[in-house]
Amino acid sequence: MGRLFGTDGVRGVANADLTAEMALGLSVAAAHVLAEAGTFAGHRPTAVVGRDPRASGEFLEAAVVAGLASAGVDVLRVGVLPTPAVAHLTGALGADLGVMLSASHNAMPDNGIKFFARGGHKLPDDIENRIESVYEEHRTGAPWDRPTGAGVGRVRDYTEGFDQYVAHLLDVLPHRLDGLRIVLDEAHGAAAGVSPEAFRRAGAEVVTIGAEPDGLNINDGCGSTHLDPVKAAVLEHGADLGIAHDGDADRCLAVDHTGAEVDGDQILAVLALAMRERSALRADTVVATVMSNLGFKLAMEREGIHLVQTAVGDRYVLEEMKEHGYALGGEQSGHVIILDHATTGDGTLTGLLLAARVAQSGRSLRELAAVMERLPQVLINVPDVDKTRVKTSADLAAAVAEAERELGATGRVLLRPSGTEPLVRVMVEAADIDQARSVAGRLADAVKSALG
């Protein structure tokens, strides 16, 4: 069996790859592994369970709740809430475990299960591995040790979670949003209720799109992966800015009043300066991945902010932040982590803080985002090559060195083997788009020649 847990929990096509039986079994396994690790010692365990609005989340939630309760875990069912809300409530309620059912920005047929440890943090890899092995062991026949009578878990709906999460968001907001008109694209997803409520309570005039989830329309032509609707709505309503979330609202992208996109790098740049101004940017450092635009790095250098870069993936950003106590990190995709107030990326919090900076500064988002210039970036995927030899091919190293000499200090080259496919990603940045395309094309040819 291949590894079930990826970088963001277990994910697949609901009722095909991810079945009710698997959801139930993984939940029972998680309860047993955490009990074995001493997490439940001395008290009756509690779990927080939430989901996004996908139709499949209804039966998968039922399976997860049944599995946990059958293993003696009391369950607080918080219903449809964003992933960061479930993480927050897991910590705020002192729960031993959190479970979120979502496939984030994936299409509606997919779904996923993500577990949070006590405090709302992602489970360590060794615990995930142990859950997987225990699940597999019992799936093939070994009986579970099951409680009976009063030992079984009790289940109740925890509707207070909605207001608790909104109150948390407002508590950490440094400035109200009075006077701003903001378009929110909720991707027909998990934040369709809480995000507009939070922005309204913060004082903004809110226009919502993509906020009518029916279980089937999540991420369908809207949200952070399809920005045209929010761009059009901002222009139509004369809004100051627009915010777009993905299906589970752990991401946030934005558009300014002209309809121009403001990506995750620009959002990080704006928030880094705002946080430094109020002495909240510890060590004057921001964490991003190697895929961040070179313009972001140059802007941070110019502003005297230190940039730490990690491998691609929000989990690596979070690991670096937790290890060194940094307060801000994220990815170009809009996955932004403000570690003092969230244990994972929180799209609603990110959008609120971005809007608060606009309100507090009296400057437009377009003006604020201009702190960095996005250099043209060209990405070419080169398929059917031996990606394991990227770092060992002398011919490829020579081609990269030649490209870097040509680009100088105003350009950058990155060759990255895909984590899931037999291909190599060639990324080139340059001040001039034609030069970026030319260099990327030559490097792609060099990859084919050296590794094909």
| 104 belongs to the catalytic site | yes
Question: Where is the binding site, in residues?
Answer: 104, 246, 248, 250
For domain 377-451, the CATH superfamily is: Alpha-D-phosphohexomutase, C-terminal domain (3.30.310.50)
Angle between helices 347-361 and 194-201 (to 10 degrees): 20
Does 10-159 match 377-451 in CATH topology? no
pLDDT at 142: 80
Which of 311, 270, 262, 268 is closest to 289 using CA atoms?
311
Nearest one of 363, 370, 364, 378 to 413, comparing CA atoms:
378
**The listed CATH number (1.10.1240.10, 3.40.120.10, 3.30.160.60, 2.60.40.1180) that belongs to domain 163-369:** 3.40.120.10
Write down the catalytic residue from 56, 104, 333, 393: 104
Give the fold, CATH level 3, of 10-159. Alpha-D-Glucose-1,6-Bisphosphate; Chain A, domain 3 (3.40.120)
Quote the pLDDT of residue 2: 53
Residues forming a β-bridge with 101: 51, 113
The one-character DSSP state at 36 is H
Round to whole Å and give the CA distance between 70 and 47: 13
What pLDDT, on a 0 to 100 scale, did the predictor assign at position 291? 87
Domain boundaries, the chain: 10-159, 163-369, 377-451
- Structure confidence at residue 324 (pLDDT): 97
- Residue 420's pLDDT is 65
CA-based torsion, 105, 108, 110, 114: positive or negative = positive
Return the H-helix or E-strand segment holding 110: strand 110-117
Beta bridge partners of 157: 77
Q: Are 85 and 194 in contact (CB under 8 A)?
A: yes
Across the chain, which has 452 residues, the per-10-residue mean pLDDT values are: 74 96 97 94 96 98 98 98 98 98 95 96 92 92 90 98 98 97 98 98 98 98 96 98 97 98 97 97 96 92 97 89 97 95 96 98 98 92 88 90 90 84 88 93 92 84
Cα torsion through 147, 152, 153, 155, rounded to 10 = 150
Burial class, 59, CB count within 10 angstroms (exposed 0-12 / middle 13-18 / buried 19+): middle
Strand partners, 221: none
Q: Which residues contact 39 (CB under 8 A, 6 or more apart)?
A: 45, 96, 97, 117, 118
0.75 cut: is pTM over it? yes
Residue 351 one-letter amino acid:
G
Binding residues for Mg(2+): 104, 246, 248, 250
